[in-house]
């Protein structure tokens, strides 16, 4: 190599200095964690961009992040709590419902954003290389700010309804992490499928619209287990919503653990298979998008 040709520090985003061999990739492709780590700055920037654009484009900006969960909660409290008379296990219905909306809304937004993310980044994918996994993953992450705002609202609600703060609250980050993985698992599958199949963009809104009623957002998960048995736990959101309620409302709301682990197993399978599917399809993204 020419001496003194390039005095710049190693550029993380670019390929490493040693020899790179590009040839056709065949068969299943695994995740290259080392490469993802080299591109970590771009990951944060993409998430930051998504957040910035969302707040710049929405008329109400941050206001939307406050209003959306509150209005949803109000409707659920009236329809499920008052009209249908659903049991909230003794907790104030508003808090009971809001505790479920936290993971549900994060999941639903993350899924919608990430499943659309590759198609929306068409101009990037056809013009520049970086690990494509950053795109759906940063789309999932960009919902985290909305989530934090909702946490603020939750604390206000708890104070207003006089719900005691317990040590269980410390478990919430764990359940959030699991919700993140669930959204990522679905996002990997749907974003990659969306590149190839035109009808996927209709499937995701359908899942989101139905999911809020199928998951125990307006009622106790016990009702669902009563109806379907432990199979109700196959929907990972069931266990996650239970987890959030447990961490917010305390001991009386402990999840039904077999159902919870069933849901986590579903996520694990979807996540691993989704990562392989994504990586294997990745090489065709630029050609067919």
Partner 1 sequence: MGRPIISVRGLGKRYQLGATPGHDTLRDHLAHALAALQRRWRRRNGEGAAPEPAGPREIWALREVSFDVMPGEVVGVIGRNGAGKSTLLKILSRITDPTEGEVRLRGRTASLLEVGTGFHPELTGRENIFLNGAILGMTQAEIRARFDEIVAFADIGPFLDTPVKRYSSGMYTRLAFAVAAHLQPEILVVDEVLAVGDAAFQKKCLNKMQDIGRTGRTILFVSHNLSAITRLCQRAIWLHQGRVMRDGPAAEVASAYLNSGIGTGAERTWPDGAAPGNTVVRLVRVRVRREDGTTCEAVDIREPVGIETEYEVLTPDKVLVPNYHFYNEEGVCVFISHDVDPAWRHRPKPCGRYRSTAWVPGNFLAEGRLTVNVAISTYRPFEVHVHERDAVAFTVVDNLSGETARGDYAGKLPGVVRPLLRWQTEVLES
Q: Which residues bind partner 1 (CB under 8 A)?
A: 1-2, 5-6, 8-25, 41-42, 45, 49, 52-53, 56-57, 122-130, 193, 196-200, 203, 283, 286-287
CB-nearer residue toward partner 1: 83 or 198: 198
Helix (H, G, I), strand (E, B) or coil at 58: coil
Least distance to partner 1, CB of residue 117, Å = 13
State the minimum distance, in angstroms, from the CB of residue 110 to partner 1. 20
Decide whether 54 or 245 has the Cβ nearer to partner 1. 54
Closest contact distance (angstroms) between CB of 25 and partner 1 is 6
Choose between 78 and 284: whose C-beta lies nearer to partner 1.
284
Task: Please give the Cα distance from 246 to 242 (Å, whole number).
Answer: 6
Q: What is the CA radius of gyration of the chain?
A: 21
Question: What contacts 24+ positions apart, CB below 8 Å, involve 57-66?
Answer: 62/149, 65/145, 65/146, 65/149, 65/150, 66/149, 66/153
Cβ closest to partner 1, residue 18 vs residue 85: 18
When the beta carbons of 30 and 57 are compared against partner 1, the nearer one is 57
Sequence-separated (6 or more) residues with CB below 8 Å from residue 169 = 247, 248
In the 3-class helix/strand/coil scheme, how is 165-218 assigned residue by residue?
CCHHHHHHHHHHHHHHHHHHHHHHHHHHHHHHCCCHHHHHHHHHHHHHHHCCCC
Least spacing, CB of residue 176 vs partner 1, in Å: 27
Residue 181 phi, psi dihedral angles, 5° rounding: -65, -40
Judged by beta carbon, residue 53 or residue 214, the one nearer partner 1 is: 53
Min separation Cβ 269 and partner 1, Å: 20
Residue 279 is classified by DSSP as H
Strand segments, DSSP code E, in 38-128 are: none
Identity of the residue, 162 or 199, whose beta carbon is nearer to partner 1 in the bound complex: 199
CB 126 to partner 1: min, Å: 7
Q: Tell which residue, 141, 135, 132, 134, has the closest CA to residue 281.
A: 132
Q: How far is the CB of 242 from partner 1 (least distance, A)?
A: 31
Task: Quickly count: other Cβ atoms within 10 Å of residue 277's Cβ.
Answer: 17
């Amino acid at each position: 190599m020419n001496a003194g040709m390039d005095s710049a520090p190693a550029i993380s985003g670019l390929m490493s200095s040693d020899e790179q061999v590009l040839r056709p990739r065949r068969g299943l492709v695994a995740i290259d964690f080392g490469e993802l780590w080299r591109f970590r700055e771009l990951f944060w920037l993409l998430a930051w961009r998504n957040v910035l654009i969302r707040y710049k484009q929405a008329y109400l900006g941050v206001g939307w992040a406050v209003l959306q969960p509150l209005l949803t909660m109000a409707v659920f409290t009236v329809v499920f709590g008052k009209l249908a008379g659903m049991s909230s296990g003794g907790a104030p219905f508003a808090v009971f419902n809001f505790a479920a909306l936290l993971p549900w809304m994060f999941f639903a937004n993350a899924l919608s954003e990430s499943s659309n993310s590759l198609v929306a980044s068409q101009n990037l994918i056809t013009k520049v290389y970086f690990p494509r996994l950053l795109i759906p993953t940063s789309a999932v992450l960009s919902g985290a700010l909305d989530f934090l705002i909702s946490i603020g609202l939750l604390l206000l609600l708890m104070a207003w309804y006089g719900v005691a703060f317990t040590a269980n609250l410390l478990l919430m980050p764990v359940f959030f992490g699991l919700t993140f993985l669930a959204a990522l698992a679905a996002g990997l599958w749907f974003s990659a499928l969306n590149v190839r199949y035109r009808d996927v963009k209709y499937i995701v809104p359908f899942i989101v619209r139905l999911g809020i009623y199928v998951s125990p957002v307006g009622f106790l998960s016990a009702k669902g287990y009563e109806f379907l048995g432990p199979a109700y736990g196959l929907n990972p959101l069931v266990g996650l919503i239970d987890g959030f309620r447990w961490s917010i409302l305390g001991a009386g709301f402990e999840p039904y653990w077999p159902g919870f682990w069933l849901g986590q197993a579903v996520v694990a399978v979807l996540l691993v298979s989704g990562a392989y599917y994504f990586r294997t399809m990745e090489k065709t993204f630029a050609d067919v998008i």
